[in-house]
């Protein structure tokens, strides 16, 4: 077997909570990412889903070293990127690029389209001044925008067009791995489909590896080869997209799937939704054992004993739950 392009080994990202006049007294930790182990092979589209606050965006920023992990290793082509020095990290960064949720915030409003897309290429020495305009025009055409808009500013574009500009800027560094952090959540449904089709085509044409973060399961099902479900800083289920949707193994995944509306009034009225009690626990004070057990309808006393490992219960299908074999059959609603 070939080595994965990206490998995470028990990665934890904790943020200290400080108090006092000079904020010099640590009173706790926010455990945003709390022990994630994951392998991503080259060319794969991995979807990462979960409710707000589960650690998806922090995981993405940790992979890119925008946030330093508290513990664990992040290996890229077998190289530990957490051990890179500042200059080594600067040379490494073009290989991994990120598309942020809000393109208006990630694009400098004082820069024209030409300057915004060209800036990272010039900063990393990947283009010369004389050839940069030609490269920017080619990138704009690849993402479905006309090069005649080179001298416009971000506020002159729609939300979908701005997201295309952000994609073009990321592609300018010729990355191998692209991380998209909820890139379509602020867009209309019709525009979402266009951006998803664009990302799928670019991944195929450029042989890109894509980590796609979202809270919309329908979007992830359309796009991803595999899906990782996160809850309170942990990956609780990991498997092929269709297996996750037709035979979810973790109670939390089942609850997420049951919340997807069915476009058939009779089926929607007849199906049973899985309602979770209580609120998600605080990442400052996570529960002992399985993080989901206080809200799980199938929890027993043993679930509070220890953190369940992400074990393989079916072929290429993992779940962090000790009660997988005891769960009732799941009837997919979508």
The kind and range of the H/E element at 34 are: strand 25-40
Contact call for residues 49 and 230 (beta carbons, < 8 A): yes
Give the separation between CA 204 and CA 215, rounded to whole angstroms: 24
Return the higher-pLDDT residue of 23 and 151: 151
CATH of domain 41-54+101-177+185-326: 3.40.50.300
46 φψ region: left (φ > 0), alpha (ψ -120 to 50), beta (else): beta
Contact at 8 Å (CB) between 10 and 70?
no
Secondary element (H or E) of residue 251: helix 251-258
Residue pair 197/172 in contact by the 8 Å Cβ criterion: no
The reported pLDDT for the residue numbered 331 is 75
- Global pTM? 0.93
What does the pLDDT look like over 73-101, one tens digit per residue? 999 999 999 999 999 999 999 999 999 88
* CA 213/CA 216 separation, integer angstroms: 9
Which pLDDT value is given to residue 176? Answer: 96
Tokens of 283: 């990442």
Q: What is the pLDDT of residues 273-287, one digit of tens each?
A: 888 888 888 999 999
Query: What DSSP letter does each residue of 175-221 carry, written as one string?
Result: -SEEEEESTTTTS-HHHHHHHHHHHHHHHHHHT-EEEEEES-HHHHH
Q: What are phi and psi of 172, to 5 degrees?
A: -60, -25
Query: What is the token pair recorded at 147?
Result: 């090069």
- Where exactly are the structural domains of the chain? 41-54+101-177+185-326
User: For residue range 105-162, what is the model confidence (pLDDT) as tens digits?
Assistant: 889 999 999 999 999 999 998 888 888 999 999 999 999 999 999 999 999 999 999 9
- Is residue 272 helix, strand or coil? coil
- Tell me the average pLDDT across 221-226: 91
Write the DSSP assignment of 129-185 as a string of letters. Answer: HHHHHHHHHHHHHHTT--GGGTT--GGGS-HHHHHHHHHHHHHTT--SEEEEESTTT
Are 241 and 220 in contact by the 8 Å Cβ rule? The answer is yes
């Amino acid at each position: 077997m070939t080595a994965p392009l990206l490998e995470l080994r028990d990665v934890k990202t904790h943020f200290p909570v400080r108090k006092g006049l000079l904020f010099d007294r640590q009173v706790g930790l926010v455990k945003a990412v709390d022990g994630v182990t994951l392998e991503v092979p080259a060319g794969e589209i991995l979807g990462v889903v979960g409710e707000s606050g589960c650690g998806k965006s922090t995981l993405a920023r940790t992979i890119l070293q925008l946030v330093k992990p508290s513990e664990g290793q992040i290996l890229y082509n077998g190289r530990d990127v957490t051990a890179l020095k500042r200059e080594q990290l600067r040379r490494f960064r073009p290989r991994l690029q990120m598309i942020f949720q809000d393109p208006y915030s990630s694009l400098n409003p004082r820069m024209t389209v030409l300057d915004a897309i060209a800036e990272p290429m010039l900063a990393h020495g990947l283009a010369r001044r004389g050839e940069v305009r030609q490269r920017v025009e080619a990138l704009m055409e690849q993402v479905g925008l006309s090069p005649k808009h080179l001298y416009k500013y971000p506020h002159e574009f729609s939300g979908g067009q701005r997201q295309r500009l952000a994609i073009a800027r990321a592609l300018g560094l010729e990355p191998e791995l692209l991380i998209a952090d909820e890139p379509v959540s602020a867009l209309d449904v019709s525009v979402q489909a266009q951006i998803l089709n664009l990302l799928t085509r670019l991944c195929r044409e450029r042989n890109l590896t894509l980590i796609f973060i979202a809270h919309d399961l329908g979007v992830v099902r359309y796009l991803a080869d595999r899906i990782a479900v996160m809850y309170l800083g942990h990956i609780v289920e990991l498997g092929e997209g269709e297996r996750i949707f037709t035979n979810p193994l973790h109670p939390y995944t089942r609850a997420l799937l049951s919340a997807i509306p069915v476009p058939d009034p009779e089926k929607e009225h007849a199906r049973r939704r899985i309602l979770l009690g209580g609120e998600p626990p605080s990442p400052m004070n996570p529960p002992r054992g399985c993080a989901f057990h206080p809200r799980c309808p199938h929890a027993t006393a043993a679930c509070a004993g220890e953190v369940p490992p992400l074990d393989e219960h079916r072929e290429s299908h993992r779940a962090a739950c000790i009660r997988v074999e005891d769960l009732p059959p799941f009837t997919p609603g979508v």
